[in-house]
Structure 1
Amino acid sequence: MDTWEKKVKYAVEKEHQVVHYQVTPRYDGDRVVPIGFEMKATGYKPGGAPGISFDEYVPNEMFSLYDQQWHNMGQYAPTEFRY
């Protein structure tokens, strides 16, 4: 998510765009932690020219140092924490 959030921030702060930004969480069944996020942005530069534009799905993943793998936090429920 950080990559896309930084792009929106840059468009607003540095390029003075007007941006419609929307993030929608996606869930798997009745789980309370999202499996990912649908991220959309449409921007317009001063004067009305088209600006930033993206429509991306970003999975809710975290890298585990324990098993050296990526895990989707909306699907993976660790039973214990290990350091």
Structure 2
Amino acid sequence: MKVSPPSLRRLSKVLCVSVAFLGCFEKLPESTLGERIIKARFYYGYTKREFSALLGISERTLYEWEHDRKIPPPTPLNDLSKYLAVLMKE
């Protein structure tokens, strides 16, 4: 059964646990920047639409970053770094 990121967020609040705990995302790959972006987005329980809005970019741009087709420029990369930091805490 698949659960949407917003449902995971709601469930994590009710159970007082992290989205990462519920999602078991620790085994997702993170060898490329794109994989790290996807993993961080999942850890926070954001959809592509929500995450791209937080970063002030289009969903298409996020797709390009997540699939390693484009590299984020410095300003969005700085914004991304606070989300990617969660991967360092594993």
Q: TM-score range by the shorter chain?
A: 0.3 to 0.5
TM-score, normalised with respect to structure 1: 0.33
Which structure has the greater CA radius of gyration? Answer: 1
Asked which structure has the greater RCO (Cα within 8 Å, sep 6+), the reply is: 2
Higher helix content, 1 or 2: 2
TM-score, normalised with respect to structure 2: 0.32
Higher strand content, 1 or 2: 1
